[in-house]
Amino acid sequence: LEGSVDKASAADSDSYFASRPRDSQIGAHASRQSEPIASLDALRAQTDAVARRHAGVVPRPPHWGGYVFLARAVELWVAGAARLHERARWTREVSAAGGTQAAAGPWNVTRLQP
């Protein structure tokens, strides 16, 4: 897999966050991802506190955002008997603009020998 990764714009992150289920939005506020926590009960207490604080619309937390990945190449294969695998590589041109302003061309597929 080859491609480029850019941080999504604040507007794109806001839009995606707003499309998430309310419980997921609350969880995004409550969880300090990958930080240690004493127990599941402690996490539930954090979640309950956030739910009380945001009775209406849940705003996107400042630390929460997305990324845009534009693949330039993808290779897949399916195992076949006697090493006669189905194998192919998809490639396309991706503009150098980066982020959500980048553009990607059509995919071209090439069948490959195993």
Q: Which residues are catalytic?
A: 83
Helix (H, G, I), strand (E, B) or coil at 17: helix
Give the CB-side neighbour count of residue 80, counting CA atoms within 13 A.
10
Separation of alpha carbons 111 and 42, rounded Å: 52
Cα Rg for the chain, rounded, in angstroms?
Answer: 21
Two structure tokens written together for 54: 């945001």
Type of residue found at 35: E
> In the 8-state DSSP scheme, what is residue 92?
-
- Kind of pairing between the strands at 108-111 and 2-7: unpaired
